Structure 1
Amino acid sequence: MSVQTTPKRPDRRSLLAASLALAAFAALSAGCASDPPVGADCPAIMASAADELRVLVFRGGSAARLGHNHVLRAGDLRVSWPAAGPVLRFRLDALAIDPPALRAALGPAFASAVDDSAREGTRANLLRALEAAAHPEVVVTTLQQVGEGPRRAVEAEISLHGVKRRQWFVAEVQDRRARGEVVIRQSDFGIQPFTVLGGLLAVQDALVVQFELVQP
């Protein structure tokens, strides 16, 4: 996901999920690693090895048992840290589709094998459904944080598929590490959940975005 300037406060077989994800993100504690002069920017940096944003996509339809649940991971996550909190950026064409180690870590619901051919098919469907050529990047901007201590209510603006929406979620913040998850709906971003054969196989509208970030 290019150097991010400090944003100005205001002013959807598979995957659309990606979208997502967006989101979550933002939860982390506010501020740059050290407070910059007023008006200074926090440079965008590649996420550290400890940073991760993943989207869980769930199978649906009357023949859901014939399909797979999917997990998508932001492969080029970039983060900047203005005063309101982190800004996250990632490209849809850089999403990692069903990494085997990650599927194994997620347990029985993701235990089915997905081969390379299936991954490529999922990627093609995803990029087409999300119109990634026209809207290649997802941006999540922290707007505000409410509360003190480890639990924070966070409001973020998510830019996906050419649509901007505000979303509230809860993050667990400890020291410089934040983690949490948020549920988003593809339809909220003008995305039609993937479906074939008259709904025999489909992707559910609701997606779960899980994240963990570490402030430098």
Structure 2
Amino acid sequence: MSTTTFGPDTGELTLHTGVAGKAARTGHSLTIGFTDWSATVDVDAPSQVRVRVVVDSLQVISGEGGLTPMSAPERGVARGNAVKSLKADEFAEITFVSTSVAADGDGYRIDGTLTIAGRSREHSVVVAPSGSGADRRVAGETTVRQTDFGIKQFSTMMGALKVADEVTVRLDLSVPG
């Protein structure tokens, strides 16, 4: 069995948040990246996929929207709030372990168990390969509802501004030729 391991040096794993509440227009939609993560894939028969993300490696890359552009100190505060919401002091890692991989159109549907903040749920991710040779890539996207994992979204102004419950996770990998 041949396995390939991906990580920050071969691609990006990003999380994209929205804003909710009566004062949503004042908040920033965040793009969050991770500096310590890995995805291991059985290349011969891609039936085994395991993803591990170190929560404390979370970095706020950018904040879109809001009344003013997001400053570096605000990114630091947002990072602290996100790490706290994800209970990183208790649950250092987010994991996804596949239970099956099946062809799905031009890509693959990966079903498995996603564990965030100590809670596990069945989850699916669809990924699609593109390019050829040295330009081969795999990209995927999935939506995760924070409340499904017992995560209380960060809120301020007595709940008038809060992080939206659904976040989008995106994966874009360069595949070794």
User: What is the TM-score normalised by the length of structure 1?
Assistant: 0.69
Query: CA contact under 8 A between 1:88 and 1:141: conserved in structure 2?
Result: yes
Give the aligned partner of residue 67 of structure 1. 27
Task: Give the total of aligned pairs.
Answer: 169
Give the aligned partner of residue 155 of structure 2. 195
Note the 1:6-155 alignment, pairs <5 A.
35-36=1-2, 42=3, 45=5, 47=7, 49-82=9-42, 84-99=47-62, 113-147=69-103, 150-155=106-111
Query: CA contact under 8 A between 2:146 and 2:152: conserved in structure 1?
Result: yes
CA RMSD of aligned residues (A): 2.5
How far the C-alpha of 1:194 sits from its partner, in A, is: 1.5
Is the counterpart of residue 164 in structure 1 residue 164 in structure 2? no
User: What is the TM-score normalised by the length of structure 2?
Assistant: 0.82
How far the C-alpha of 1:207 sits from its partner, in A, is: 0.5
Aligned counterparts of 1:109 and 1:143: Cα–Cα separation in 2: 38
Matched residue type, 1:200: A
**Worse-matched range after superposition: 89-98 or 172-181:** 172-181
How has the CA–CA distance of structure 1 residues 48 and 201 changed in structure 2, closer, same or farther, with 3 Å as cutoff?
closer
Query: CA contact under 8 A between 1:78 and 1:90: conserved in structure 2?
Result: yes
Give the aligned partner of residue 10 of structure 1. none
Question: Identical aligned pairs, as a percentage?
Answer: 24
For structure 1, which runs of at least 5 residues remain unmatched after alignment?
Answer: 1-34, 37-41
Aligned counterparts of 1:156 and 1:177: Cα–Cα separation in 2: 22
For structure 2, which runs of at least 5 residues remain unmatched after alignment?
Answer: none
Matched residue type, 2:156: V
Aligned counterparts of 1:161 and 1:58: Cα–Cα separation in 2: 20
Matched residue type, 2:61: D
Q: Secondary structure at the match of 1:84?
A: coil
Q: Secondary structure at the match of 2:125?
A: strand
Higher relative contact order (CA 8 A, sep 6+): 1
How far does the alpha carbon of each residue in 1:114-145 deviate from its partner, in whole angstroms, 9 at most, with x for none?
21210111111112222111101111222211
Q: Secondary structure at the match of 1:97?
A: strand
